[in-house]
Homo-oligomer: A and B are copies of this chain.
Amino acid sequence: MQLGMIGLGRMGRDMVRRLMDKGHQCVVHDSRAQAVDELRGQGATGAASLQEFVAALETPRAIWLMVPAAVVDGVLQSLLPLLAAGDIVIDGGNSYYRDDIRRAEELRKQGLHYVDAGTSGGVFGYERGYCMMVGGEPETVQRLAPIFAALAPGDAAVAPSPGREGHATTAEQGYLHCGPHGAGHFVKMVHNGIEYGMMAAYAEGFNILRHANAGKQARQDDAETTPLRDPQFYQYDFDLPEIAEVWRRGSVISSWLLDLTARALDEDPVLERYSGNVSDSGEGRWTVMAAIDTAVPAPVLSSALYERFSSRHMGDFAGKVLSAMRQQFGGHVERKS
């Protein structure tokens, strides 16, 4: 099947390569000519402009956008006038699902079809396959089945859950039509919310292990700082890379994220190349907002998000307020770190 791909960053490029490996034909476009050239060299039809891109696609066209969420509307504004009724536009990036609902309606008025395809897999997707959570009209999603099947890991990758015999679905290949417009990105949004929570669980755990030798450090006794009551219980110098590695085998917390953590710790046991300022890219925030809208308690997912905010010093003013209060009521002079 033929697919047009706009956006040849890390994700878009590798998806095109995986599709071509599986025998699909790709037309590609990116504002960076070099990115287009690279894939042209690997068999794709490169397009220097959107006009050229659209012209190279057979109708009804299937066009996949793999661009930052913040620029999707801009791309659509340029792209839509060039399309014809029946064409399909897939947003595979990290759009907010509410934007999908709005865009689907806008495209529908023009006779176009919109599909939101939340895509997980990261830089390993080319080899491992991508997990896709899809929203849109059933028949449109169905038309794209060959594409999703090629991008997904496939049913040989992971055995189905025991008991699923007799009701096989595309979930077993690694993609799922989750519901109407926005459903794909909604599920992807929650997926990323969970991801933040899991990552934070590991991060906090390793941080505790790292400080398990706190009893070896001298502490001052004064009214400002509580002494460690039982320093004899915090005398462990743990080997974090080895612990991450052992947990990968037979433990309840084995996971792909742990595999990656073990790799990172093995390369750099104290992670000195990082400063610890952690970005967040939208889905974690939207997940928490969805929880709040629907009155669902989500303290773990929220805490994980806030740790990222704090890592970027966004809590500093709150700390100043606390120090100011302490100064006021107790005459406590702030200790410089």
Contact = CB atoms under 8 A, between A and B. Distances in A.
Interface stretch (A32-40, A108-116, A310-318): A310-318
A277 to B, nearest CB: 4
Interface string A247-272: 11111111111111111111110010
For the complex of A and B, the 3 pairs showing the least CB-CB separation, nearest first, are A197-B201, A276-B319, A255-B255
B201 A301 contact: yes
Interface string A220-235: 0111111111101111
Interface string A309-337: 11111111111111111111111101111
Contact of A293 (B97, B229, B266): B229
A272 to B, nearest CB: 8
B96 A274 contact: no
Given A300-B300, A317-B276, A325 B226 contact: no
B68 A298 contact: no
A137 interface: no
B250 A296 contact: no
Nearest to A97: B233
A9 B223 contact: yes
Interface string A152-177: 11000110111110000111111110
